[in-house]
Amino acid sequence: MSVDTMSSHGLRDAMVDQLVADHAAKGLIMRPEVEAALRTVPRDLFTPGVSSQEAYRDAPVVTKRHGDETVSSVSAPWLIAEMLGQAADALDGGMRGRQVLEIGSGGYNASLLRELVGPSGAVTTVDIDPDVTDRAVKCLAAAGYDDVTVVCADAEQPIDPGRRYDLIIVTAGAWDVPLAWTSQLTEDGVLVVPLRTFGMTRSWALRRVGDRLVSHSQRLCGFVAMQGAGAHEMRYIDIVDGVHLRLDEGQQVDPVAVSGLLSQPREQTWAGVSLSPRTVLADLDLWLAVRLTAEADQFVVLSAQQEAVDADIVAPAWRFGTPAALHAGMFSYRSALRWTDDMFDLGACAHGPHATAAAGRLVEHMRAWVDAGQPSPVLHVLPARTPDGDLPAGTVLDKRHSRIVLTFTSA
């Protein structure tokens, strides 16, 4: 049977088969209850206006735009599956019977959660946009999940004061963790949130321990930005056409001073390591952010249009967000990988009067990560009022409502 004639049920099974294979390729195992939920919920009923083939592609489906900006979407299935797996892994005893709050609605993820919690559990989904919640109500009813509670509100504040949830899962990009999210969790409850630190977003599964949260796992991800009181605008500075610096933690960069950086000759340095394709380079990127910040470098994130990469203006590791540093008139960033057969080496590019030295400094940080056993980051979220002496050792980011501490443990 061709894709054109395959039924929605067949397309759904094919999508899940691919998700299971993708998990395995990443060294992950999809939990059986997550797989069962994905095979049960009809995603095409939550993506009206697109074909069944598009509904079951492993890609997001945009459901609302403001001009060219996407403000609501049904997330990519691979990301939904990984976040649900994070939640189930972090909750001792799994998802069955749990009380769940979803922040950022649309309906599809809420219906998957409803399958996971079962008849003895409950799911509430909230969104700030009435168009989104109205659509969620209709789609949930069409799919037979009209027992999901849909609320239109700004989730920066408690949704139902006094109520506690075993799991809060956020499906919008957040820059901070409001006190309401922690306070609405049960003791040992779990928050799964796409949180930006140093301008890079990771889906963090965080367990509540008293008035703080401690990470259980994290995954690379990207989401539509949070709206309402929790919104935090990312700032960008153009270096040349199609190449930008992303500033997200209060960095101050002179646009005039950086405008000529890429006109200076580029130097490339390699780490001389041999790593497997399963190496988690997202962990390395946070390591570089922490190490470069500790050395008083101006840490930034480099992003570039494909045309700038094709023209070899820059050669970033990932054009959507690569760690970079500004230091003493020099600019360095993690470069594209160098492959030999099925293994790769890490490298750095730099521009400026001492570009070779700048690239070498960045490469030394990469080697240090490899030598340390490729450690994974651990995130602690504490209230903004927490004194310095009560913080765990690590690199501190002060947000509006919280103090976030990043540290690393051996893999």
Residue with tokens 């849909």: 150
Going by C-alpha positions, the residue among 54, 164, 155, 172 that lies closest to residue 109 is 172
How far is the first Cα of the chain from the last one, in angstroms, to the nearest whole number?
44
User: What 3-state DSSP class applies to 407?
Assistant: strand
**Interhelix angle for 8-25 vs 32-40, to 10°?**
150
Residue with tokens 């988690």: 280
Q: For residues 106 and 126, give the distance between their C-alpha atoms in angstroms, rounded to a whole number.
A: 9
Going by C-alpha positions, the residue among 98, 116, 252 that lies closest to residue 186 is 98
Going by C-alpha positions, the residue among 286, 283, 294 that lies closest to residue 373 is 283
63-94 burial: b if 16+ Cβ within 10 Å, else e: beeeeeeebbbbbbbbbbbbbbbbbbebbeee
274 is catalytic: no
Non-local CB neighbours of 310 within 8 Å, separated by 6+ positions: none
Q: Are 359 and 365 spatial neighbours (Cβ–Cβ below 8 Å)?
A: no
Q: What six digits make up the tokens of 95?
A: 């998802």
Which contacts (CB < 8 Å, 24+ apart) does range 178-185 have? Answer: 178/230, 178/401, 179/383, 179/401, 179/402, 180/155, 180/156, 181/103, 181/155, 182/208, 182/211, 182/212, 182/213, 182/381, 182/383, 183/158, 184/101, 184/158, 184/159
Q: For residues 164 and 191, give the distance between their C-alpha atoms in angstroms, rounded to a whole number.
A: 12
Q: Are 200 and 135 spatial neighbours (Cβ–Cβ below 8 Å)?
A: no
- Provide DSSP, 212-255: EEEEEEEEE---PBP-GGG--PPEEEEEETTEEEEE-SS----H
Pick the catalytic residue: 52, 73, 75, 105?
75
> In one letter, which amino acid is 251?
Q
Fill in the DSSP letter of residue 392: P
Element (H, E) at 36: helix 32-40
- Catalytic positions, written as ranges: 75
